[in-house]
Structure 1
Amino acid sequence: MNADVLALLTLETQRQQALVAGDSVRLAALLADDLVHIHSTGMVQGKAGFLEHVVKMGGFVAIERPAPDIRLLGDIALISGETRNVVRSLHDGAERVRHGFSTLVLRRSPQGWQIILSQMTPFAA
């Protein structure tokens, strides 16, 4: 496993931990300022809106992402694969399962790898 793949796997683990902990400071460091985040519901947010959303919902309950596929394209990387998120509803606090295929697009910057696109497409029910 090369150093870039290891760094990307580490970043993905840190991202999941920050989401579950509701740690917006730690999460913010992993996200590019020009982030586009597309929720499984179709809602689209930038970095500030996404961080605010994570804090409001109190973080994720759990994230399962077995062996994601990682592709390196120079200073761009793709991390994709099946994902099962358990989240809290902003409306009633109930836990909801979001199961689908998620994709992260990352860009190498002077600060290291940062997420520029995060998107999840739910599997058909």
Structure 2
Amino acid sequence: MTEKQALLTMYRKHNEYMVAGDIDQLGALLADDFHLVHMTGMVQSKQKWLSEIKSGQMHYFSSTEEQVTVTELTATHAILVGQSQVDARIHGSRNTWPLQLTLQLSMLDGHWLIRHIDASMY
């Protein structure tokens, strides 16, 4: 498997675990200093995002991938942009959003980890 394929697989696992509510597997993909910037501008740490998934404050019903591209790749850094239709209930409001996630990944201890995600609509 090439590095690019490994990153694509990681992105798909991220979405799979998010929808399954599997915070242990999802958390294993995230660096300790991970931050997510939601499309509203709200910034969440790894711990806060995972706790809101666990509590049901953020519940992802489905994520249907439309396009995903690795836009930058070096030995230690990568940027991946994925576009999906995401059906979710966020703090009580349910909708299907055309969600673009821009993932910044770093190679740490021989493994790719997601360090940062910027979420926006496309």
The two structures share one fold, judged by TM-score above 0.5: yes
Which residue number corresponds to residue 78 of structure 1?
79
Which residue number corresponds to residue 109 of structure 1?
108
After TM superposition, where is structure 1 displaced by more than 3 Å over at least 4 residues in a row?
A: none
2:59–2:90 contact (8 Å) kept in structure 1:
no
TM-score, structure 2 as length reference: 0.88
Which residue number corresponds to residue 53 of structure 2?
54
- 1:79 CA displacement: 0.7
The question of 1:97 aligning with 2:110 is answered: no
Q: Name the one with the larger strand percent.
A: 2
Indicate how the Cα distance of structure 1 residues 87 and 17 shifts in structure 2: closer, same or farther if over 3 A, else same. Answer: same
Letter in 2 for 1:99: P
Q: Which structure 1 residue ranges, 5 or more long, are not aligned? A: none
- 1:111 CA displacement: 5.0
RMSD: 1.7
d(CA) in 2 for partners of 1:111 and 1:90? 36
Which residue number corresponds to residue 66 of structure 1?
66
Which residue number corresponds to residue 35 of structure 1?
34
How many matched pairs? Answer: 120
The question of 1:8 aligning with 2:12 is answered: no
2:15–2:63 contact (8 Å) kept in structure 1:
yes
d(CA) in 2 for partners of 1:100 and 1:24? 20
Local SS of the residue matching 1:33: strand
